[in-house]
Amino acid sequence: MSTATHPAQQLELPAANEGQQRNGPPPFESWGRYPTYDAKIIPLHWQSDFPTVIDGLHNGVLPVGMGRSYGDVCLLKDGNLILTTGMNRLIDFDAETGLLTAEAGVTLAQILDFAVPRGYFLPVSPGTKYVTLGGAIANDIHGKNHHVAGTFGRHITQFEVVRSDGSRRICSPGENADLYSATIGGLGLTGLVTWATLRLKPIVSRKIDYEGIQFHGIDEFLDLTDRSKDIEYTVSWVDCTSTGRNFARGVFMQGDHSAKRDSLIASLKPKLVFPFDAPGFALNSLSVSLFNTVFFHKQIHKRVVSLQDYEPFFYPLDKVLHWNRMYGKSGLLQFQYVIPWEHAKEGTIAILHEVAKSGLASFLAVLKAFGDVPSPGMMSFPKPGITLALDFPIKPDQSFPLFRRLADMTLEFGGRLYPAKDAAMTATQFQAFYPQWEHFARYRDPMITSSFWERVTQNL
């Protein structure tokens, strides 16, 4: 890959956060707060300002939103970040069909504020509502209903891509289908998405009919997965610190939108903000296994049924803004794989063993079975099988070697990792996970790149 607009290539992963040598915080952080880079922020408030705002820039540009991806897909070292969150207008809504057209910087939280009082909901919800529509498309995000609804991109009927040369294209499955497929899951690299049309789904209540069921081991998890095929939302929290009797214990959480007509008011704004960076010692194997034990036993009974609001069901962590500060200044590393059914069970057991053995703290490990609804994006992450997402506080000597081992294991089991969660996979690993990357690269806008893309497309 060669263009005139490359930023300096990053050949080695920095051992510690470079940000600690900088005066003041970095201008834009990803959610994992690793790595951190200098970049110039270019706020974009109006569709008509692009591409004029990037005239004369030479260090590459990257459209970004809320910075909720964990690693470096939303970073561009010493480049220009087009901050799209000010471009957040609604354009049209059809109350009969639920089709909402909006500018790409609108957040899913803003969409919910608009849609819920009108009896509509997101077709696919990720674990946080603080992501932009453009970011949701660029990472082709998934949610608890992947097994029935597929990825977010499946519910995008059309969008506009503006390239850095000023050309504009409307993309849909029937129009510019190749650019449509490259842009969904295309990590923002194919051009600026200015607006998109999303098909919302009707609801009659904010409430979710919830059921939580404890399980011990992957067999029980698979059994519960099998029995919940007709339930819209399923996800599991799994303890990946315990070994022996408690190995792979967890809570299987499932829910459907309540069919009983009820209040549809918009949500209140969150008030809690994690106020400071936690010191490094706050997270250790003791505090994490304590957390895991409390989480497991918070649900006292084997089975709990309740009617709960959609906010705690879908976005439990959104209650505390900036919860990532809990991981301190050095940040956190996410690891999310999908392993196809053929090796899903043995792969998941092997990886959970490896994580538990390492003793590297990780709470909030999330386990889910993906369904077989095809992903629309050329580079989309989800495919049928089991997905597991974990996070580790960054300890330079231990986290990266463990991560590399886990990534290699994922590859051996025929799986792949999720770029939106990644800060550490090697170019070799990426190119094995996504052999179609060279085909995808043809659709990249020559002015646009990211630190992720520079990292994983290095010549081998």
Partner 1 sequence: MSSTPQTTDRQPQVSRKILVLGATSGIAEATCRIWATQGASLFLVARNAERLAAVAADLRTRGASYVDTAVADLDDTDTHPQLLAHAVNSLTGMDVAYLAHGILGDQAESEQDFNAAAQILYTNLIAPISLLTWLANFCVQRRAGVIAVLSSVAGDRGRKSNYVYGSSKAGLSAFLAGLRNRVDREGVTILTIKPGPTRTAMTAAMPKSEKFADVDAVAESIVTAIDKRKDVLYVPFQWQPIMFAIRHIPERVFKKMNL
Least distance in angstroms from the C-beta of 318 to partner 1: 16
Looking at beta carbons only, is 13 or 170 nearer to partner 1?
170
State yes or no: cis peptide before 51, omega within 30 of 0: yes
Looking at beta carbons only, is 119 or 340 nearer to partner 1?
119
Q: DSSP states of 424-457 as a string?
A: ---HHHHHHH-TTHHHHHTTS-TTB--HHHHHHT
Number of alpha carbons in the 13 Å side-chain half-sphere of residue 413: 27
How far from each other are the two terminal CA atoms of the chain, in whole angstroms?
11
CA distance 285 to 75: 30
Both tokens of residue 315?
A: 């976005």
Least distance in angstroms from the C-beta of 349 to partner 1: 44
Looking at beta carbons only, is 192 or 365 nearer to partner 1?
192
CA distance 407 to 412: 9
Looking at beta carbons only, is 65 or 415 nearer to partner 1?
65
Least distance in angstroms from the C-beta of 87 to partner 1: 9
Q: Where does this chain bind partner 1 (CB under 8 A)?
A: 43, 45-48, 83, 86, 89-93, 95-96, 103, 114, 117-119, 202, 204, 263-266
Both tokens of residue 2?
A: 């060669």
Q: Which of 38, 129, 132, 26 is nearest to 86 (CA)?
A: 132
| Phi, psi at 436, each rounded to 5° | -80, 5
Looking at beta carbons only, is 45 or 405 nearer to partner 1?
45
CA distance 460 to 431: 10
Least distance in angstroms from the C-beta of 45 to partner 1: 4
Looking at beta carbons only, is 70 or 121 nearer to partner 1?
121
Least distance in angstroms from the C-beta of 255 to partner 1: 21
